[in-house]
Amino acid sequence: MRYLLMMRATGFTEAGMNPGGTYKEAVKAYRQSLAKAGVLLAAEELRPSSAGIRVVYLSGGDAPEVRPGPFPIEQGLIAGITLIDVDTEEEALNWALRMPIPSGQGSCGIELRRLEDRAVHPRDPRQTAMEAELKDYLQL
């Protein structure tokens, strides 16, 4: 099961404030433990939304509005993502609970969302090869 862990943006992250060395060390250690457990797919920090752009399609309109940030924090803004692949929801939650948070920067939060499963059918290479042969014969 794949889960996206989203770090909510705060006034501090939007202001680009340096969270301090201890936090950074903690994040590094956290990512390493994710990797060691073999669950880490991706972990990225987003730049403040002042560097972002929104493409908005208003109802009924044709061309979208393109607006540069910064955007309001209350509108579900995120500051970072961590993508993991685990066996249970409990495991995902445990990892979310272990995520380090910067101290002294007010309230912050993490949202967990499960990703849609990609249907992974085990491939039979012989069938694939024979299908390729048939298509070749049919000039497809």
Core vs surface per residue 114-140: b (16+ CB within 10 A) or e: eeeeeeeeeeeeeeeeeeeeeeeeeee
Closest approach of Cβ 123 to another protein, in Å?
Answer: 6
- Does position 136 bind another protein by CB under 8 A? yes
- Does position 54 bind another protein by CB under 8 A? no
- Binder among 26, 27, 40, 92 for another protein (CB under 8 A): 40
Closest approach of Cβ 133 to another protein, in Å?
Answer: 7
Half-sphere exposure of 109 (CA within 13 A, CB side): 6
- Radius of gyration (C-alpha) of the chain in whole angstroms: 21
* Region from 17-25, 62-70, 73-81, 129-137 binding another protein, contact rule CB under 8 A: 129-137
